[in-house]
Amino acid sequence: SQTIHQWPATLVQPVGSPLSLECTVEGTSNPNLYWYRQAAGRGLQLLFYSVGIGQISSEVPQNLSASRPQDRQFILSSKKLLLSDSGFYLCAWGRRNTEAFFGQGTRLTVV
Amino acid sequence: AQKITQTQPGMFVQEKEAVTLDCTYDTSDPSYGLFWYKQPSSGEMIFLIYQGSYDQQNATEGRYSLNFQKARKSANLVISASQLGDSAMYFCAMREGSSGDKLTFGTGTRLAVRP
């Protein structure tokens, strides 16, 4: 069966520090991969999605970047965090015409 | 323009009663899929139900059913016999066939089930 791993679960980082959140999928190949951010009590904002290795689509210009170095690995990064980067980050995988499966999320607090 | 609109920020329902959560969508793509997810306070996203644009019948999954009205571009979620554990945020989402598998979410509805 397919599983998705996302870590860490919580993270507190100072302003200006770098960020790296990792997401890996098991049990499937060539998945679509997604990064979402959710502000407190709000909806999910699509940040990046990828349909293959090295193929990244950015939805919102911001202080973040994404990379897909391997088929089942999706990384969210920042060189210098801002206070506004705080939020709940969710990784997901899916295929066309099927639902998306989510990781457990990372709660990031920038202080 | 908003692709997915959920106009009810919060809803209450009495335990054991049915509740409808509204969702309207905007697309000119003939091929699309509509999804509903539940997010409890733990933050995990739980898939509930899926409706394809070409599906002739409304989707059902246990106590969940999707009232799909294509001409009105609405995809309301109906939860029958509400339970206390149904209290959560509910999100409607859409994937358009022409958008490269992008999955877009609405702003959500917070449902509270009263005992």
Question: pLDDT, tens digit, for every residue of A15-29?
Answer: 999 999 999 999 988
Residue A97 and residue B104: Cβ atoms within 8 Å?
A: no
The CA distance from B27 to the nearest CA of chain A, in Å, is 16
pLDDT recorded at residue A92:
94
pLDDT recorded at residue A26:
94
pLDDT recorded at residue A43:
85
Residue B101 and residue A51: Cβ atoms within 8 Å?
A: yes
Residue B106 and residue A43: Cβ atoms within 8 Å?
A: yes
The CA distance from A82 to the nearest CA of chain B, in Å, is 23
Confidence of residue B100 (pLDDT cuts 50, 70, 90): low
- B37 CB neighbours in chain A (<8 A) are 102
Longest dimension (CA), chain A: 40
For A71-92, the pLDDT digits (tens) are 999 999 999 999 999 999 999 9
For B46-83, the pLDDT digits (tens) are 999 999 999 999 999 999 999 999 999 999 999 999 99
